[in-house]
Structure 1
Amino acid sequence: MDVRLSLNPEVAKGLLARARARGVSLGDYLQEIVAREAGLSAASPAHERFGNLSDLLLNSPFAGANLDLERCKDYPRPIEIG
């Protein structure tokens, strides 16, 4: 089946960047996304999906989410000894 998509430029740019980061064509990347959403692709372990930590972080569902992961300072507490 052929499907035509009309994407806004920002979405198209983001998809193309993700496809390039994975080393695949945009068409192959879109096919992979659609197959996964249709429940047709078997989930593979993370070590098979991502070649290294950088790939994992760049292709994470949270990539580009601008999460604030900074921790609050936890200062030492005074304790009594003896």
Structure 2
Amino acid sequence: MSTNSDAMPGITLHLSAADLEQLFDRKLNEALQPIYSKLDAIEEKLDAIEEKFEKLTARVGVVEGLAAKIPNMEDDLRSQD
């Protein structure tokens, strides 16, 4: 058996530009699918982080509102002197 590439038969495909583009797109999408899946997982995690951040921001607002209602102890001590 010869390993010379000249002796090996070749395959010739006759495709239109549209068919070739479709073939490339399909193969590219197959190759990129693992990356798309990872990006989807990252997006879900970012959404969860954003929700937690919004909840924490709301809590900070509540705490700041309560802190504003606490009387200033320095003013109270000075008034007693």
Question: Do both share a fold (TM > 0.5)?
Answer: no
User: TM-score normalized by structure 2?
Assistant: 0.27
User: TM-score normalized by structure 1?
Assistant: 0.27
| Larger-Rg structure | 2
Structure with more helix by fraction: 2
